[in-house]
Structure 1
Amino acid sequence: MDRLIYTAMTAMNAAMDRQRVVANNLANASTPGFRQEIFAVTPATLKDGTLEARAPARGNVRGADMKAARVVPTGNPLDVALEGKALIAFQSPDRQGEVYSRRGDLRVGATGVLENGEGLAVLGENGAPITLPPGFGISLAADGTVLAADPAAPGAAAEPVGRIRLVNSEGTRLAKGIDGFLKVPAAAGGTGVLPPDLTARLGTGALEMSNVETADTLVQMIEAQRAFEQRAKIIATAGSLDEAGSGLMALR
């Protein structure tokens, strides 16, 4: 009996985790550049010799769906939409490495650092955040070069102050953590980073939106809820069978 209950319990946990992932995807249906998380459930059979003891379910985020989403014109010169499979390198929230995203709603922060809508600092080719001179007019070139024009020198050409670190993950496995950021799995205690892609291009004045399909995601949420309810019924049935068996033993 414990095998039935234990297996159903792990399946309930997996269904709950799936609901969390689906809810997170749905909450980010309007977040620029968001890539929906892919959830997978796998059985993990525990064997003792020839006996299959239990088959608990393990659910986790397998990665992110990197398919392209629609691009919406905004007219903002600091909004960028990446072409192909390029990604922008950002400084991680703990400032200990790099994270990657296609979120291109860029802005100049209060400290003069170029950042996106989440407040993550945009990294330059040297791996450091791009810092801009105060009061200068900022524009972006198709190759990611950041140009600054001095307002005190009308008619003067804008000067490059850095270049956005654009990378391509093709051929490299990316992981998506519970913080929602794309990362290269660290190996042997080091921090994984993607190599720069010098051929990557971006378009300005537009944003790539989330690739979450709202209708499909709602269906997934209903499926996850039903799966949880089914496992709960199995545990309730197991309890009833246990009580019935105890009653039969008492009659003896």
Structure 2
Amino acid sequence: MDRLIYTAMTGALHTMTQQATVSHNLANASTTGFRAQTDAFRAVPVYGESLPTRAFVLDSTTGADFTPGAIQQTNRPLDVAVQGSGWIAVQLENGEEAYTRHGNLKMDANGILQTQQGFNIKGESGPITIPPDSRIAIGKDGSVSVLPSDSRMTAVSIVGRIKLVDPPAEQLVRGEDGLFRLKEGGQAPVSEKVALIDGALESSNVNVISEMVKMITLARQFDMQMKMLENAQQNAQQAGEIMTLRG
């Protein structure tokens, strides 16, 4: 009897966890450069005396779906999309390096190039600062060029180059802030193969229809596991009644 309760109870619990993952993906269906979170069920044996036949059901977060999203043209000078695989490096306040594909950039009050979340874009020589009253152009290789706002002046200056990296997907882990990092820490090397598309953004790779179907399937699984718990309770009551009659 208790084996049924172990399995159904933990199955219902982690079905709810997967529902939270699906809800999170759907909430970010329109987030630029978002990578859908993936997870799966797995069985874990319960170790202990007289418990070799018991098993828990656990939700195993397997990582993220790294399939590229669709490219959407915006014609905004500070919008960039990563073409194919690769990441834009950002520097956090604690000096840590992290990676994003959210290419909707901006400049802060000091002219430092940042993401919309306020993370500094990491250049190959440090933060990238844009001089005031300048027009900006971002090249395919991540080079950031500025032109004076006065159209009569045509001098072009390169003020930095965005650090572009392409570590293997299995080496990356998503943080609570939505940014990716190397599992073992450290910094990924610059990759010359990563290319940017200027004046464009990458959409989320969440498949809304697939996630909705998954949500319905999980809801049905949860109902089934709750019915198993109800059956276990009914069986226990009936067994108790039989023992009372025999007594």
User: What's the TM-score, normalizing by structure 1?
Assistant: 0.88
Contact 1:61–1:176 at 8 Å: present in 2 too? no
- Tell me the SS of whatever aligns to 1:118: coil
- Tell me the SS of whatever aligns to 1:53: coil
The 2-side partners of 1:25 and 1:159 are apart by 41
- Tell me the SS of whatever aligns to 2:30: coil
Return closer, same or farther for 1:104/1:230 CA change in 2, 3 Å cut-off.
same
* Aligned residue in 1 for 2:45: 45
Unaligned runs of 5+ in 1: none
The 2-side partners of 1:5 and 1:49 are apart by 18
Contact 1:85–1:169 at 8 Å: present in 2 too? no
The 1-side partners of 2:128 and 2:211 are apart by 37
Compare 34-43 and 104-113 and name the one that shifted more: 104-113
* Aligned residue in 1 for 2:79: 79
1:246 to 227, 240, 245: 240
* Aligned residue in 2 for 1:97: 96
* Aligned residue in 2 for 1:28: 28
* Aligned residue in 2 for 1:193: 187
Percent identity between the two aligned chains: 37
Higher strand share: 2
Contact 1:28–1:210 at 8 Å: present in 2 too? yes
Contact 1:11–1:58 at 8 Å: present in 2 too? yes
- RMSD over aligned Cα atoms: 2.2
1:36: how far off?
A: 0.7
The 2-side partners of 1:17 and 1:5 are apart by 18
1:1-252 alignment to 2 at 5 Å?
1-48=1-48, 52-92=52-92, 95-126=94-125, 128-151=126-149, 154-170=152-168, 172-186=170-184, 191-251=185-245, 252=247
Return closer, same or farther for 1:10/1:180 CA change in 2, 3 Å cut-off.
farther
Query: Which letter maps to 1:116?
Result: T
The 2-side partners of 1:109 and 1:244 are apart by 70
The 2-side partners of 1:245 and 1:180 are apart by 51
Query: Which letter maps to 2:153?
Result: G
Q: Count residues with an aligned counterpart.
A: 246
Contact 1:62–1:175 at 8 Å: present in 2 too? no
| 1:133-191 CA-partner distances (Å, limit 9, x unpaired) | 333322211110112233369414221111111000237521224443222113xxxx2
The 2-side partners of 1:246 and 1:136 are apart by 82
1:96: how far off?
A: 4.6
Q: Which structure 1 residue ranges, 4+ long, deviate > 6 Å from structure 2?
A: none
User: What's the TM-score, normalizing by structure 2?
Assistant: 0.90
The 2-side partners of 1:12 and 1:101 are apart by 34
Unaligned runs of 5+ in 2: none
1:59: how far off?
A: 0.8
- Tell me the SS of whatever aligns to 1:9: helix
- Tell me the SS of whatever aligns to 1:193: coil
The 2-side partners of 1:12 and 1:152 are apart by 65
1:66: how far off?
A: 1.0
The 1-side partners of 2:158 and 2:170 are apart by 31
